[in-house]
Structure formats: structure tokens, C-alpha cells
Amino acid sequence: MKLRVAVIFGGRTGEHEVSLRSAQAILNAMDPARYEKLEYFIDRQGKWSPHPILPEPGAHPDIDVVFPVLHGTFGEDGTVQGLLELADLPYVGAGVLGSAVSMDKDMMKRVCRERDLPVVEYLSFHRGQADPQAICGRLPFPVFVKPANLGSSVGISKASNCVELEAALALAAQFDYKIIVERGIDGRELECSVLGNETPIASLPCEILPSRAFYDYEDKYLLDLARTVVPADLPPETTAEVRRLALECYRAVECEGMARVDFLLESATGKLYLNEINTIPGFTSISMYPKMWEHSGIGFSALIDRLIELALSRQERKKATRFAR
Ligand SMILES: Nc1ncnc2c1ncn2[C@@H]1O[C@H](COP(=O)(O)OP(=O)(O)O)[C@@H](O)[C@H]1O
Ligand SMILES: [Mg+2]
């Protein structure tokens, strides 16, 4: 019998378009002989079609497993994962905790720091609390100002002086109640794909060569000028260190299923910094998560098969847990 897979895509965020493209690539790659594909579309207002997933166990006897392909808020942040937990449906990717911690750039760094993993120096503030004058001088310029919970570089700016910092803080504050200010790293951007539950594996890393001052929204999705190199041209010991740190970060945030872990490699010091972890990375035909696996010997369709297996095996594991006396 075919496995019935519900793919959820779209969503109420700036990453709606990317989600559509990721979901299309995933649906195309799913072997029709093995899977029955069920499409759950969420529009920009948050309305589901043909109908929403209900939070009641047993409400969806027609679904065997769910593949949430929602990037960013209301999808990658633990919210949809919470819904699927309530519904008692197996799903691809990180659980509620791993999703929420990974989404929040402040929490992710705190959890990594607790394990002595290298994260860049930063400050965090709540909206209205960030006084540009007070921040000036606490970190060297340039700094990166970011909404704590977002993706695709939305609301992120690079500030090179106090005036730019003020504008950057105002912009970031529109997108989140929590804002972070980080020391800017002059160097290279690397990414590494991770796959697995209890025993995750890391792919060969890749390098991103942005075409602009940094890898911003235009560069990611519109300009098509950023270059990528897979596998990244690195000394073997750096490649090994990227893979090791990617796995350490994955475990630290208690991720499962998959994640793309992103790094900054500082030119002046040769030091690697963990930048962020994405629990539902892009899955378009040109996205780096599947591309890194391809170069590491796991093709797109095989990757989808593996992710679904991992979702089902986590559900099996859950059966050993009692939820009441
Ligand atoms: N501390 C930093 N130093 C240098 N560049 C940075 C720093 N933080 C972010 N960037 C640049 O901004 C881009 C987006 O930041 P990132 O933290 O990855 O946010 P997002 O979740 O939106 O992808 C990065 O890909 C990188 O080009
Ligand atoms: Mg990023």
C-alpha cells in the first residue's frame, strides 16, 4: 500500500513564495509508486485549503505522515509542529522544542554557548529597549542587526556607524519584539547539511559567495548572482571541523530529521563561527540543503524517502512514552 503523505506549504510569511517552490520540488521528487501525495495549502492570510489539519488525534485517518514545507514563522518555529503533536501525526523535521530554539537566533546562541560552541559576540534587546548610543562602543563596527525570529534576511541590515545602527534597529523592531546586534565577521560563508534523529550525519559543506554587501533577500531569491561552491574549497581539517560543529549544534538545539547549519569563517583569524541553524531549509531545485546531499551521495528522491522514514521512526519511539499514569 502507498504511504499517504500530506505536504503543507505556503503560509503567512515573507517566505510564502519560497515555500511554494520547495513544496513543488518535493512533490515532484516523491515516487508516485510509493506515495500518495496530499496537498495542504496555506494562503497568505493563513487560511488552509482544502481544509485545515485538526488538532485531534484520529481526526485524519487518511494521512500517514506529514511533511511541513513552511519556512520561517508559523511553520518552522514549532507552531505547526505543536499542531501535529496534538493531532498525533508523524511529521518530517525537528519537534516543537528544536524548531523553536533553532528559529530564535538568541536562544540558539545561548544553547550553543552552553556547550562551548563558537558563536559570534552579540547583544539582544527588546523592542524599545535598544538605545543606539548605548550600543555604540559595546561592539566594534560593522555590526549586523537582526530580528531574532525570522529568515531569508528579512529585516536584517549591516550598520557601519551609529546613524546606520539607529535605522537598522528601527527596521528590525518592525519584524520582531526581540532584536539582536552581532559583531560583523569579515570572511567566508559556509553551510552544512545534517540528516538524522539519534545518529545524525553531516554532508560535505558548501560555500556561498554573495554578490552584494551580504547575503540579503535580493541576493537569495531575486538577483540570481550569488555563487555557490559544492563542495566548498577548504583544507581537509576545516571541512572536518565544519561537519563536527554542524553535528554539535544540531544536537545542542535537540534537532531531529534535518537542518542546514550555516557558518562564518573569519578571514583574519581563521576562526569558524556557527551563524544559524535552519530546521526547514529551502528545498527548491537549486537549494543548498538537497544539493549538498547530492554531492555527498544522497539524491533528492532518496533524501525525501529518508526524511519520511525518520519521521515514522520517531513516531514509533513515541509509542514507548506514556502520557498518563
Ligand atoms: N555576524 C555576521 N557577520 C557577517 N555577516 C553576517 C553576520 N550575520 C549575518 N550576516 C550576513 O547576513 C546574512 C543573513 O543573516 P542570517 O543570520 O543568516 O539570517 P537569515 O535567517 O535571515 O538567513 C548571512 O547569510 C550573511 O551574509
Ligand atoms: Mg541565513
User: What residues make up the domain containing 234?
Assistant: 101-119+185-306
- The finding on whether 281 has its CB within 6 A of some atom of ligand 1 is no
CA distance from start to end of the chain: 35
Q: pLDDT at position 129, please?
A: 86
Q: What is the pLDDT of residue 154?
A: 84
148 and 114 part of one domain? no
38/177 same-domain check: no
Q: Exactly one of 72, 262, 273, 275 is catalytic; name it.
A: 262
- Per-residue CA distances from 213 to 27, 56, 156, 187, 225 (Å): 35, 48, 12, 12, 13
Mean pLDDT taken over the chain: 94
CATH number at residue 176: 3.30.1490.20
Q: Is residue 315 part of a domain?
A: no
130 within some domain: yes
In this structure, the answer to whether residues 35 and 166 fall within a common structural domain is no
pLDDT of residue 285 exceeding 80, the answer is: no
Q: What is the CATH number of the domain that holds 68?
A: 3.40.50.20
pLDDT number for residue 12: 92
Name the nearest CA neighbour of 232 among 208, 209, 206, 210: 206
Domain shared by 63 and 144, yes or no:
no
Measured CA to CA, the distance from residue 301 to residue 305 in angstroms comes to 6
Count other Cβ atoms within 10 Å, centred on residue 253. Answer: 24
Is the pLDDT at 322 greater than 90? The verdict is no
**Whether residue 254 sits in one domain with residue 111:** yes
294 in a structural domain? yes
What is the edge-to-edge ordering of all strands in the sheet holding 35-42?
A: 48-49, 35-42, 3-10, 65-69
Residue 317 domain-assigned (yes or no):
no
* Residue at 321 is within a domain: no
Q: Does 210 sit in the ligand 1 pocket, CB within 6 Å?
A: yes
C-alpha cell at 169: 534597529
Q: Is the domain of 202 the same as that of 290?
A: yes
Same domain, 241 and 109: yes
Q: Residue 271, Cβ neighbours under 10 Å: how many?
A: 13
Q: What does the pLDDT read at residue 254? A: 98
149 phi/psi in degrees, rounded to 5: -120, 90
Q: Which of 102, 157, 203, 278 is catalytic?
A: 278
Residue 33 and residue 145 in one domain: no
Partners of 119 in the β-ladder? 274
| Number of domains present in the structure of the chain | 3
Given a cut of 90, whether residue 225 has pLDDT beyond it is no
The one catalytic residue in 157, 282, 287, 305 is 282
Give the CA radius of gyration of the chain. Answer: 20
Question: Residue 205: pLDDT band by 50, 70, 90 thresholds?
Answer: very high
Q: Which amino acid is at 123?
A: L
pTM for this entry: 0.96
Q: Which ligand is nearest to the CA of 150?
A: 1
User: From its phi and psi, is residue 303 left (phi > 0), alpha (psi between -120 and 50) or beta?
Assistant: alpha
Told to judge if 15 belongs to the known catalytic residues of this protein, a careful annotator would answer yes
Q: Given a cut of 80, is residue 224 above it in pLDDT?
A: no
Instruction: Kindly state whether residues 236 and 171 are assigned to the same domain.
Output: no
Q: Are residues 190 and 74 in the same domain?
A: no
From CA 278, how far away is CA 324, in angstroms rounded? 33
In a domain, 81, yes or no: yes
Q: Which of 25, 1, 18 has the alpha carbon at shortest distance from 300? A: 25
Instruction: Write the CATH number for 240.
Output: 3.30.470.20
Per-residue pLDDT at 45? 96
- Distance in Å, CA 215 to ligand 1 centroid: 7
CA pair distance 320, 213, nearest whole angstrom: 50
Q: Is 312 domain-assigned?
A: no
**pLDDT at residue number 153:** 81
17 tagged catalytic: no
Under the banding of pLDDT at 50, 70 and 90, the label for residue 226 is: confident
Same domain? For 55 and 200 the reply is no
pLDDT at 286: 82
Residue 19 located in a structural domain: yes
